[in-house]
Structure 1
Amino acid sequence: MTMEGRARPERAWWKEAIVYQIYPRSFFDASGDGVGDLAGVLAKLDYLQALGVDAVWLSPIYRSPGADHGYDVSDYREIDPQFGTMADFERLVREADARGIRLVLDLVVNHTSDEHPWFYASRQGIVPYRDFYIWRTGKNGGLPNRWRSVFGGPAWTYVPERNAYYLHLFSPKQPDLNWDLPAVRQEVYRLMRFWLEKGVAGFRMDVINAIGKPELDDETDAVGFERVINHPKAFRYLEEMYEAVLKGADLLTVGETPGVTPEHAWRYAALGRGPLGMIFPFEHMTVDIGATKWEPAPFDVVRWKRVLFRWQTKLEGRAWPALYLGNHDQPRPVSRFGDDGEYRVAAAKLLAALLLLQKGTPFVYQGEEIGMTNVRFPSIDDYRDIETLNFYREGRERGVAEETLMAAIHRMSRDNARTPMQWSAGKNAGFTSGTPWIRVNPNYREINVEAAWADPESVLHFYRALIALRKRVPALVYGRLVPLCPDDPAVIAFLREDEAGPWLVALNLSPVPTTWPLPRPIAGRPMVRVLDNRHRPPAYWDPATPIPVAWGDGEAAAFAEVCGGKAAGGPEIGAPGERPPERGGHGAGPSTFAGEGRRETPVGAAGPDGKQTAADVRRGSWEVERPEAFRLGPYEARVYRMAPPGHRRRRPGEGDG
């Protein structure tokens, strides 16, 4: 079937979902051995449900020697013993499903571990595995070409048994599979079906745009990965994967695709036609780096938002965006794009609004919801990441000063995201009763889930408010994004709008106050501030709450209708540890807006007792504003519901009634 011949529903559960990424070894350790595990994920499902999560993406849990912490797989059909057993995984699927949470696995098939049985056989030249990997003889007594590995050093390693070199775009412990061999592709499709039969709801596909290799006679002195990505073969192989495995399945599929443009997205994930549902772009993660990730460049708000807005406008109507600001490979967003000092809470909330209110599926990485920060370990001995350790070693060999290397590591090391999840102010941040595999960030006594839950104005409760708002308002999922003020050096602002009318998001990504004149025709238009990051969010955001009759009765009723209709009713979600109310499965049909199965989630913090007065519910909300300009404080974020279309602004003296 051709791409043009496909048809998929415009609405889908994965477009409406909040996806939470878990790096299992750092999430929660139930066994006490210092490494997070599947039992630990199971123990925190109620927390994830209370947060409002719809799907969990698990970083690799397959058997692995751990050279790259699971991204070097030695057996795709076995759970690594450090994480538990297959029975643990099957129970996790069942218990997550009971809470309306789906599980998405990391599919790591550009390469395997060099300890995979396929590679053992391939290096011995044993059929049928002889050509499962990419082997080349040397040239002129040297390497096959001059490519370098992403993790440093040559991209080729010599094996005497074959009298040949194998390609590894990453570590020598991660030999690249030969996707040109049909048998390799069929093995991948079989292992995908294996996990789908276990009940997984999709795959995040690791560096999937590198699977199609060009001819290898390229003599360029370059990082090999950069010479490989987005080869036409990659598109062709993903088309085949779609036909063999994904066709007709209601799955979340997202490709990790460094080096892509919006035009690439149109091929990988064209709406209704592409082989994947979404791709992760990287352009917005490169605006603050130089020639390499370790070389800093000034963070330019104007450049950043132009990148964000270009992807939004280029993908509109053509491909569905995947949204993220952090993950297991990136520094903590609040340290990178915001402020992890005086304004940490405000900046973390602002970045949450930016992430959750753009068009696309938001991916929240563990700890972002409490504003976890980068770590500044004093010694290289405290780090575990292979990329970080190689960078330090090579830098010292070149004579680079220790303090220069450590400053770069403090800023960009992948271990910034991999320190243990901070659950409490207790021993090891409540992560483990043993010795953690990597040290805990020392700020866990102030930044942790327990403290955040007790504080109604915390980052955590602002996340809950935003998530619930997004779930109740279709415009914030499917409505188009209209960029505003592209040249303002501090303010990121945009509209989300559908046929019911617009929502306005205004963010001051600056540590100093700023004034933003609202553009016409927005200026002076009636609007209601629904959320901001300066006030406690309403505990139960109820569109039926009385609205000052400033737009007239008809307009006020229309506003309430657009915002979700009648109050949801039902109990407030309790504190962590209390079992939230049961929800039924995954809903009916592809869209949670269909009605049946829809999650009616309260918004924000109600405090430990789950109670709030009507006055508190209305606090900071429902007052009609007609601003000509916003005076925004440091890292201030505001979310407004604007007057429905057709509103006629009152003349002076006309009154509100």
Structure 2
Amino acid sequence: METAMRQRGGREKNAGHDAVSTRQPAPSGMVYHHRTKIIVLLLLLLAVLARVFLWGGRVAEDPPPSLSWWQTTIIYQIYPRSYQDSDGDGVGDIRGIIQRLDYIRSLNVRAIWLSPIFRSPMRDFGYDISNYTDIDPTFGNLEDFDNLISAAHDRGIKVILDFVPNHSSDLHPWFQLSRQGVAPYKDYYVWTSPGEPPNNWLSLFRGPAWTLDSVRGELYYHAFMVQQPDLNWRCAQLVEEMNNVLRFWMSRGVDGFRVDAIQNMFETENLSLNEPPSGDPDVEKDSWYSLRHDYTFDLPEIGGAVRRWRDVLNEYEALDGKARYLVVETLFDNDVSIRNQYYDYGADMPFNFDLLRVNRSCGGHCIQHYVNRELGHLSQGQWPNFVVGNHDNPRVASKMGKDFVNAVNMLLLTLPGTPTTYYGEELGMSDVHVSFDQGQDLQAKGQGEEYFRKYSRDASRTPMQWNEGKHGGFTSGCVPWLPVSQTSSYENVESQTVSSQSSPLNLYRKLAVLRNEPCFQYGGLEYGVVNDNIFSYIRSTPAGESYLVTINFGHDVSIDNFADALNGVRLGEITLTTGNLKSGKYHVGDKMDLYQLELYPGEGLVIKLR
């Protein structure tokens, strides 16, 4: 969702919800006395050897489960304006993405998610759509898109599109006909009588959420920008129009959708109801956060909409037997059950953004708290996921520091479930300073320079850094749409590919290959040593190998006894290391005693146990 919302949370208390240890039960029925000790000892031995735990304490499946493609791949988010410019106009495009598919394949990525590429006036960079079934000329045309689908599928890469159901652009033909009162379009948006706004509802982009239209003479509702009128999902004709949008793109080969701003889709039918104050003393009175959103956010009718979309996706799955993926964007919320209700609605998953909150004040216990919020609250059949960066948030290197890029990628790619990587995080790209004059984030610029400095999203959307050439190899043009980082001369794909094996890119590739191991694909998780510095866990399957993952997210060198956490297992072999040069004592292939591991801040190891 294109929003400059404040990220709340920072460091939170540890949830104290540990995974439940599961042991094999003793056999029932009569047992001969002289065999009792032997059987008990065998059971204890099996319990120690197995050490297999799924999130929530469930035992991992054996034989291996049948997993869908979206459960086995990394999802790689591309911001198309910033990935690769093919024609020298300074803006990335579809042909540029096609040029880089082999690179994406080299990351062991099998699914790309594209931020909006639909026709748009670009007031909100594509999240204000004026035609849901066409490509904006900035990015190319439908033929280019078809070529992308073909080229990606040839390489075994799935393509996921953004779906923006909450609002359109005010330049969409539907809105132009709606403001003229033309049936059935007159009911495609949320209108109320002329005069004063019917309630106190506020826009997420600050100020009143109602604007008077000069043509219709009535006010329309917009949860976001004035130029983004909300669609009326209580209108049956609109519902079918949007279902047909999904059908249009799936007929062209699209493999799934990420749904934007889903929690804003419905408003109460009684428009006279005011939303109560939130009681937050730290926000301005015209801020969205100054109200509690009882009538405009997370309404129960959303469930029916998701189920209808799932029915549409199932139409295509029934035709060719290929799974279609549906993931929804949900905001930070202290109640995990609100997020998880989307599983029941029919989504494959809601994005879990908890790790976006992580910064340098978040040590081992803090990381465990956020991991627990996901793994400790899933029901049977619900698949986890983790996200560490996206187009609305600061990059990992800027939040955590360069020394922690490898550590965060190691965490992301070894936790259970489906990981999502924002382009450039595999390199450790940093936020780029973008001056007010250079800024492209119109929503932030429209609220003044001070607001822009605090909340502009431009810094994390700068061009991908491919090589040490002009503009980092992103464009052959004179001026890219946003400035390229000055670090592109040495922090780029080309140099990191040929540099040390522990460069962020090379380590990322190795971690991505390691994810193919059964224990990382579907195995259980049990916590190991967790303290103010260290977060560690064991990934295992009943019949496979076990790995210990241990990372220092703290501020101090930590020396810890992992043998005790592993019930006496003392030996292991290093499979991967972050290669933190402050230590340099651990190397891939080293056999090591787990009794005392010494890890520096930002240092992590993956260790094979058996």
Q: TM-score, normalised by structure 2?
A: 0.80
Out of 328, 331, 351, which is 2:394 matched to? Answer: 331
Matched, 1:354 2:411: yes
Secondary structure in 2 aligned to 1:462? helix
Secondary structure in 1 aligned to 2:539? strand
Q: Aligned partners of 1:353, 1:286: CA distance in 2, in Å?
A: 17
Contact 1:257 1:280 in 2 (8 A): yes
> Could you tell me which residue of structure 2 aligns to residue 218 of structure 1?
273
One-letter code of the match for 2:552? Answer: N
Q: CA deviation at 1:322?
A: 2.4
Query: Which aligned pairs between 1:462-541 and structure 2 lie closer than 5 A?
Result: 462-471=507-516, 473-486=517-530, 488-499=531-542, 500-518=544-562, 519-534=564-579
Contact 2:580 2:603 in 1 (8 A): no
CA distances 1:69-89 after superposition (whole Å, capped 9, x unpaired): 011110011111111111111
Contact 1:150 1:225 in 2 (8 A): no
Contact 1:149 1:225 in 2 (8 A): no
CA distances 1:338-381 after superposition (whole Å, capped 9, x unpaired): 21xxxx1x41111111111111111111101111001223x311
One-letter code of the match for 1:217? Answer: S
RMSD: 2.3
Q: CA deviation at 1:501?
A: 4.7
Q: Using a 3 Å threshold, how does the CA distance of structure 1 residues 300 and 456 change in structure 2: closer, same or farther?
A: closer
Out of 54, 63, 82, which is 1:26 matched to? Answer: 82
CA distances 1:603-636 after superposition (whole Å, capped 9, x unpaired): xxxxxxxxxxxxxxxx933433231232101200
Contact 2:212 2:219 in 1 (8 A): yes
> Could you tell me which residue of structure 1 aligns to residue 228 of structure 2?
174
Q: CA deviation at 1:201?
A: 0.6
Q: Using a 3 Å threshold, how does the CA distance of structure 1 residues 162 and 515 change in structure 2: closer, same or farther?
A: same
Q: Aligned partners of 1:298, 1:455: CA distance in 2, in Å?
A: 31
Contact 1:30 1:432 in 2 (8 A): yes
Q: Using a 3 Å threshold, how does the CA distance of structure 1 residues 301 and 159 change in structure 2: closer, same or farther?
A: farther
Contact 1:136 1:144 in 2 (8 A): yes
Out of 344, 348, 351, which is 1:280 matched to? Answer: 351
Q: CA deviation at 1:514?
A: 1.9
Query: Which aligned pairs between 1:438-453 and structure 2 lie closer than 5 A?
Result: 438-453=482-497
Contact 2:246 2:312 in 1 (8 A): no
Q: Aligned partners of 1:454, 1:300: CA distance in 2, in Å?
A: 32
Query: Which aligned pairs between 1:577-656 and structure 2 lie closer than 5 A?
Result: 620-643=587-610
Matched, 1:156 2:210: yes
Q: Aligned partners of 2:589, 2:219: CA distance in 1, in Å?
A: 67
CA distances 1:107-148 after superposition (whole Å, capped 9, x unpaired): 11111111100000111111110010111236xx53222222
Query: Which aligned pairs between 1:86-485 and structure 2 lie closer than 5 A?
Result: 86-137=142-193, 142-215=196-269, 216-220=271-275, 221=277, 223=288, 226-227=293-294, 228-246=296-314, 249=317, 250-260=323-333, 261-270=335-344, 274-286=345-357, 299=362, 302-315=365-378, 317-336=380-399, 338-339=400-401, 344=402, 346-377=403-434, 379-392=435-448, 395=450, 406=453, 408-409=454-455, 413-434=456-477, 435-457=479-501, 458-471=503-516, 473-485=517-529
Q: Using a 3 Å threshold, how does the CA distance of structure 1 residues 314 and 502 change in structure 2: closer, same or farther?
A: farther
Q: CA deviation at 1:287?
A: 6.1
Q: Aligned partners of 2:207, 2:110: CA distance in 1, in Å?
A: 41
Q: Aligned partners of 1:241, 1:67: CA distance in 2, in Å?
A: 27
Q: Aligned partners of 1:298, 1:624: CA distance in 2, in Å?
A: 33
Structure 1 residues not aligned, in runs of 5+: 1-8, 289-296, 397-404, 537-618, 644-657
Q: Aligned partners of 2:553, 2:570: CA distance in 1, in Å?
A: 24
Q: CA deviation at 1:515?
A: 2.1
Q: Aligned partners of 1:257, 1:211: CA distance in 2, in Å?
A: 12
Q: CA deviation at 1:535?
A: 7.5
Contact 1:67 1:173 in 2 (8 A): yes
> Could you tell me which residue of structure 1 aligns to residue 124 of structure 2?
68
One-letter code of the match for 2:510? Answer: A
Give % identity: 36
Secondary structure in 1 aligned to 2:406? helix
Secondary structure in 2 aligned to 1:515? strand
Contact 2:388 2:396 in 1 (8 A): yes
Q: Using a 3 Å threshold, how does the CA distance of structure 1 residues 281 and 218 change in structure 2: closer, same or farther?
A: farther
Q: Using a 3 Å threshold, how does the CA distance of structure 1 residues 259 and 178 change in structure 2: closer, same or farther?
A: farther
Q: Using a 3 Å threshold, how does the CA distance of structure 1 residues 621 and 245 change in structure 2: closer, same or farther?
A: closer
Aligned length: 518
Q: CA deviation at 1:502?
A: 2.9
Secondary structure in 2 aligned to 1:179? coil
Q: Aligned partners of 1:439, 1:152: CA distance in 2, in Å?
A: 28
Out of 141, 153, 157, which is 1:85 matched to? Answer: 141
> Could you tell me which residue of structure 1 aligns to residue 94 of structure 2?
38
Matched, 1:11 2:82: no
Secondary structure in 2 aligned to 1:257? coil
One-letter code of the match for 1:388? Answer: A
Contact 2:353 2:387 in 1 (8 A): no
CA distances 1:532-567 after superposition (whole Å, capped 9, x unpaired): 11189xxxxxxxxxxxxxxxxxxxxxxxxxxxxxxx
> Could you tell me which residue of structure 2 aligns to residue 542 of structure 1?
none
Matched, 1:52 2:126: no
Contact 1:312 1:481 in 2 (8 A): no
Q: Aligned partners of 2:561, 2:603: CA distance in 1, in Å?
A: 15
Secondary structure in 1 aligned to 2:565? coil
Q: Aligned partners of 1:520, 1:362: CA distance in 2, in Å?
A: 27
Secondary structure in 2 aligned to 1:638? strand
CA distances 1:222-264 after superposition (whole Å, capped 9, x unpaired): 6279543321101121112222333572112110111454323
CA distances 1:468-491 after superposition (whole Å, capped 9, x unpaired): 0111x11101112223445x2222
Q: Aligned partners of 1:219, 1:535: CA distance in 2, in Å?
A: 54
